[in-house]
Structure 1
Amino acid sequence: MRVPEQDPVIDRLLALWSESDRTLPSEPRLAELTGASRASVREALIRLEERGYVHRTQGARTTPNRRLPAVGRRIDEQFDHSLSITGAGYTPHLALVSSERVVLAPSATRFDDLADGTTVLRTVKVWSVDGAPYALAEDLVPVSSAAELDPRSPVFDLAEAANGVQVAWETLWVDAVALDEERAAALGAPAAIPVIEMTYCGYGADDRVGYWSREVQLAAPVGLRNALIRRVHRA
C-alpha cells in the first residue's frame, strides 16, 4: 500500500518524533531544528496530528503518539501489502492468481459501480507471509488504452498506467462475510469460514475512478493486524 506523500519538513519532524519519548520541542525550536519557517512547521504538525502521529493541546507542547508503532497495518493509509509485510519483519510473497482484460456485464456478483461495457484489467492476487497465505485482492482497473501493463504492480500504479488517474482518495466499505469456495481455494483455507471483506474505490482529485478492489484477509500475524487511527473530538 502507498506511503502518503511527504515533504522535507514532515520527514524531519518524523525523525524527531521517533526520538522523542515525552513531548516535542516548541514550534520555534522545531523551526530551528528543521531549518523551516514556523508557518511550515505549524502546517506539518497539523498534518501529522491528522495522521495520528501527535496530539496538540492549546497552551501545551506537542505530545507524540507512542502507541502508533505497534498498531500494525493502518487501513486509513494506503500501503502495498508487500511493504507492510516487510515492515512487520516478515518475508512477503505475491502470487498472481489470474489477470485478464474483460468487458463488464450486468451481474449479481459485481462489487463496483462502473458502467456496463467498461473494459477493465481484472487481477486476482494473493500475498503470503513467511509462506502462509494472508490476503487476497480482486482488482478492477478501467483500461483506456492498449498499453502493456504489469499486473503484478500495486493497484494504484496500475490505475495511473491504465487510465491516467493519480488516485488521491479511497472510499472503504467493511463487511463480515463467509469465505466463498473460489477465494478459499486460492488462499488454501476452508470455505465458509468468517472473514473480513474490504471493498475499496480509488479515485482521483477530479473524481474519476482509478480502480475498484475487493479484498479478504485471513487471521493476521503479529504486526499486521488492521488498525484505524482517528482523532477524538469532544463536545
Structure 2
Amino acid sequence: MASERTTDPDALIDRILHLWRVDAETLPSEPKLAELTGASRNSVREALIRLEERGYVHRTQGTRTSRNRRLPGVGRRIDEQFDHSLSIRAAGYEPTLEVVSADRLTLESGVARYDDLPDGTVVLRTRKMWRVDGAPYALAEDLVPVGRDVELDPRRPVFDLAEKANGIRVAWETMWIDAIALEAERAAILSAEPGTPVIEMTYCGYGADDAIGYWSREVQLPAPEGLRNALIRRVRS
C-alpha cells in the first residue's frame, strides 16, 4: 500500500523521471507509480499534472497517459530554470565557468540599461562566461539588487545570488529573445568576430510578491548538439 505521508512534490517528480529513464518503454499506471515511489495516489496524480504542465506527458480523460518521447533529444529547455554548467555536463560536454568581472555599483540614469530597476539601486554586477570543452559558448551579465550586507560568491548561479543578496526566492522569470550582431566588447571576451550573429536573451527574475530578484542579459554562440535552445509547450486541440 502506498504511504499517505507528506511527499515533497519536486522529489516525487524526480523519482518518477528516474523510473522512466530506467525503463524507457513502460509508463506505469498511477497505482503502480504510487507503489514504486511510496507516495499516495493523490500525490502521484498531482505530480503527473505538474509533469504535463512541463511537457513530459499528455493526459486525456478516459485514456492512458502518454509520454513525450522527443524530450531526451531537445537540448536545453529555456522554459525551465537552469544552470549552464549543469546543462553542459548533462549534454555530455565539459563545462568551464570564468568570472570575467564582479563589482558592486549604484545604477544611474543616462547610461545604456536593459533593466527597469530604480536609479540609485545598489547591485552586484557580474559577467560570467561558460566554455564547452574549452570553446566559448555563453556570456551573461547579471544585475542583482543587494539588500543585505553579505559576502557573495559571483560564481554561484544568479538564482542563488538573488536569494542571498536580497532575500527573494524567484518564482517567475520573464524572458525576451532577440537576434543581434555581437558588438566589439562582448565579441572580444568570446573570442568571436564583431558583428557575429548571436541570440541575446534578457531575463527578469521576480518573486511571488513581484519584487525583482535579478535582471540578466546573455548572448550565446551557436551551440553544439545537445545544447540547442528548446521550448516545450502544451497544445490543445
Normalised by the size of structure 2, how large is the TM-score? 0.92
Question: Which residue is 1:92 aligned to?
Answer: 95
2:33 alignment counterpart: 30
Distance between the aligned counterparts of 2:183 and 2:11, measured in 1? 46
Q: Distance in 1 between matches of 2:12 and 2:105?
A: 44
Instruction: Return 5+ residue gaps in structure 1 as ranges.
Output: none
Q: Is the 8 A contact 1:122 1:138 kept in 2?
A: yes
Equivalent position SS for 1:93: strand
Large movers: runs of 4+ above 6 Å: none
Counterpart contact for 1:25–1:62, Cα < 8 Å: no
Residue number in structure 1 paired with 2:205: 202
Contact 2:9-2:47 within 8 A present in 1 as well: no
Shift of 1:114: 0.1
Q: Aligned to 2:27, what secondary structure does the other structure show?
A: coil
Superposed, 1:60-79 pairs within 5 Å as 60-79=63-82
Q: Is the 8 A contact 1:21 1:64 kept in 2?
A: no
Q: How far apart are 1:101 and its partner, in Å?
A: 0.7
Look up the match of 1:59: 62
Deviates more, 1:20-29 or 1:150-159: 20-29
Partner residue in 2 for 1:139: 142
- TM-superposed deviation, 1:6: 5.1
Contact 2:9–2:43 (CA under 8 A) maintained in structure 1: no
Residue 22 of structure 1: how far off its partner (Å): 4.5
CA distance in 1, matches of 2:96, 2:25: 38
Instruction: Quote the residue 1:49 is aligned against.
Output: 52
How big is the alpha-carbon RMSD for the aligned residues of Structure 1 and Structure 2? 1.5
**CA separation in 1, counterparts of 2:174 and 2:112?**
19
Of residues 218, 225, 228, the one that matches 2:231 is 228
Stretch of structure 1 that moved more, 146-155 or 79-88: 146-155
1:187 maps to what in 2?
Answer: 190
Paired residues, what number? 230
Mapped partners of 2:57, 2:173: distance in 1: 23
Structure 2 counterpart of 1:171, one-letter code:
T
Q: Does 1:171 align with 2:155?
A: no
Aligned partners of 2:149, 2:31: CA distance in 1, in Å? 53
Q: What is the alpha-carbon distance in structure 1 between the residues aligned to residue 120 and residue 18 of structure 2?
A: 49
Q: CA deviation at 1:116?
A: 0.5
Unmatched tracts of structure 2, length 5 or more: 1-7
Quick one: which amino acid aligns to residue 89 of structure 2? T
